[in-house]
Amino acid sequence: MLEILSTLSKSSEPLQHAVIFLFNGAEENILQASHGFITQHEWAKSIRAFINLEAAGVGGKELVFQTGPENPWLVQAYVSAAEHPFASVVAQEIFQSGIIPADTDFRIYRDFGNIPGIDLAFIENGYIYHTKYDTSDRILTDSIQRAGDNILAVLKYLATSDKLAKSFEYRHGNVVFFDILGLFVLAYPARVGTIMNYIIAAIAFIYLSKKILQPKTKVNNMKKFFTAFGLTLLSWLSTLVTVLIVAVFISLIGRSLSWYSHFYVSMSLYGTAATAKLILVHTLAKKFYYKNMNDQYLGDVFFDASLMFWAIALTVLTQIGLCSAFICTLWVAFPLFTKLMIHKEFRQKGKNLFLFFHFHDVLKIVTLALAM
C-alpha cells in the first residue's frame, strides 16, 4: 500500500476519482477499525468501491476470493486491468458459506457501508500464518511484487473509470469467474451461466436416456446402469472415508495443518489416498462382479453412470443458484462432447471407442476433504 501510494503520488497521469488508503488496526478484535471508519468517518459516504487486502498465508498468488455484492463490472475491471489475474468464485462461495471460521473487513464495508468491492488474499504457506514462524524474512518478495503490479493496475483502472461515479447503476446480478490454469480469468454473468448449465444438463440427460431406454434391451441396460451408478457412489463414499481417516491420523500426530504449507503437499497426502482407494474399489468390482464383461462396454457403462451423477449435480447446484456449478458444467460438457465427437468419427470407420475420465472424481473428494 505504501509503495502504491508513493507511485501514484509521483505519477503525472491524472485520476478522475480520489483514492483513500486505509490502514486498519483491531482486525482481530471484531473488525473494529473498519467498522468505525465506514460508520463514522466523514469520507465514508463518498466511497463508491474498495479493494481489500488480506492474507491467509505468506506468499504465492494473491487470490480474489470475494467480490460484489452484485457488481459484475468490478470483476470485469479486475480481469481487464490486472497483469496476473487469479480469482475463483468457488473460493467466494466457500468462504461466504461459513465453513471457514474467518472474517475480513470486506464484510464490514459490504454490510455496513453497502459498498461493492474486491477481496484479495495471499494463500500460500498458511501453515506458519499467525504463528511464531510468521516473520518478515519468510515473506516472498516476488509475491509482493506480483500483488503490487495487480493492485496498482486495477486501482488506476478504477480511478479513471466512468462507471465508478455511478456504481450503483451497474448493480445487477452475480458473475461466474474462475482462472484457466493460472493463465487468465474467465468471467461471465451468472444468468448466462444458468442458461448454459441447463442446456448442457439437458443434452446429457437426452444422451443417457437414448442409450439406456432402448426398447429391446431396456431392462438389462437399466440394471447394469444403476448397478454401475451405485458402485460409483460407493467408491466415492469409501474414498471420502479414507481421506477423513488420513486427516484424523494427521491430527492425532500433531500435524493437523501440515497440508496447508503448500498445495502439492495436500495433493500428495490426500490425493494419493483418494486415488488408491478409487482404484481398489473398481479393481475389486471388476474382479468379483464384472468377471466376464467386455472392458470397453464396462468403461462405457461407468462413464454413463458418472455422467449421470454430475448432470444431476449440475442441475441441483444451478437450481440452488450457486455460481460454483460451473465445475459440474466442465465435468459434464468436455467428456460428453469429446465422446460424442470421437464416437461419430469412429462409427463412420466401423469402429467404436470410448473415453472415460475419473480424475475429476479424485479432485472432488480431495476438495471436499480440504473444505471440511
Average pLDDT over residues 78-105: 88
Q: Which of 265, 244, 76 is nearest to 164 (CA)?
A: 76
The pLDDT of residue 344: 57
> In this structure, how many other beta carbons lie within 10 angstroms of the beta carbon of residue 202?
12
Q: How far apart, in whole angstroms, are the C-alpha atoms of residue 304 and residue 340?
A: 12
Q: How far apart are CA 214 and CA 174, in angstroms?
A: 41
Report the sign of the C-alpha dihedral through residues 205, 208, 211, 214, in that order: negative
Select the more confidently predicted residue: 342 or 280.
Answer: 280
One-letter amino acid for residue 243 of the chain: V
Over residues 197-248, the pLDDT tens digits come to 999 999 999 998 888 877 666 667 788 888 888 988 998 899 999 999 998 9
27 an active-site residue?
yes
Mean pLDDT in residue range 2-30: 88
pLDDT at position 296 over 70: yes
* Other beta carbons less than 10 A from residue 8's beta carbon: 16
Could you tell me how many residues make up the chain? 372
pLDDT of 274 over the 80 cut: yes
Q: Cβ contacts of residue 363 below 8 Å, gap of 6+? A: none
**What pLDDT, on a 0 to 100 scale, did the predictor assign at position 216?**
65
81's enclosing H/E stretch is helix 72-81
Average pLDDT, the chain: 84
pLDDT tier at 42, thresholds 50, 70, 90: very high
Question: Has residue 350 got a pLDDT over 50?
Answer: no
- Label residue 136 exposed, middle or buried (CB < 10 Å: 0-12, 13-18, 19+): exposed
pLDDT surpasses 90 at 43: yes
Backbone φ, ψ for residue 188 (5° rounding) = -155, 155
Tell me the pLDDT band of 319, cut-offs 50, 70 and 90: very high
Question: C-alpha distances in angstroms, 364 versus 138, 243, 247, 271, 272?
Answer: 32, 12, 16, 10, 13
pLDDT, mean of residues 329-349: 76
Average pLDDT over residues 345-363: 45
β-bridge pairing 59-68 and 175-180: unpaired
pLDDT band, residue 353 (cuts 50/70/90): very low
Q: Is 75 exposed, middle or buried (CB count within 10 Å of its CB: 0-12, 13-18, 19+)?
A: buried
pTM: 0.81
pLDDT in tens, 45-67: 999 999 999 988 888 889 998 89
3-class DSSP state of 286? helix
Tens-place pLDDT, residues 127-163 = 888 888 888 888 888 989 999 999 999 999 999 888 8
Note the pLDDT of residue 180.
Answer: 86
DSSP string of 180-213? ETTTEEEEEEHHHHHHHHHHHHHHHHHHHHHHHT
| Percent with pLDDT over 90 in the chain | 35
Classify residue 230 by burial, with Cβ atoms within 10 Å: 0-12, 13-18, 19+.
exposed
Confidence (pLDDT) at 203: 93
Q: Which of 3, 27, 42, 54 is catalytic?
A: 27
- pLDDT mean over 262-275: 84
Task: Give the pLDDT mean for 25-31.
Answer: 79
Confidence of residue 343 (pLDDT cuts 50, 70, 90): low
* Surface-to-core class of residue 58, CB atoms within 10 Å of its CB (0-12 exposed, 13-18 middle, 19+ buried): buried
pLDDT at 357: 41
Cα 94 off chain centre by: 8
When pLDDT is averaged across residues 344-370 and rounded to a whole number, the result is: 46
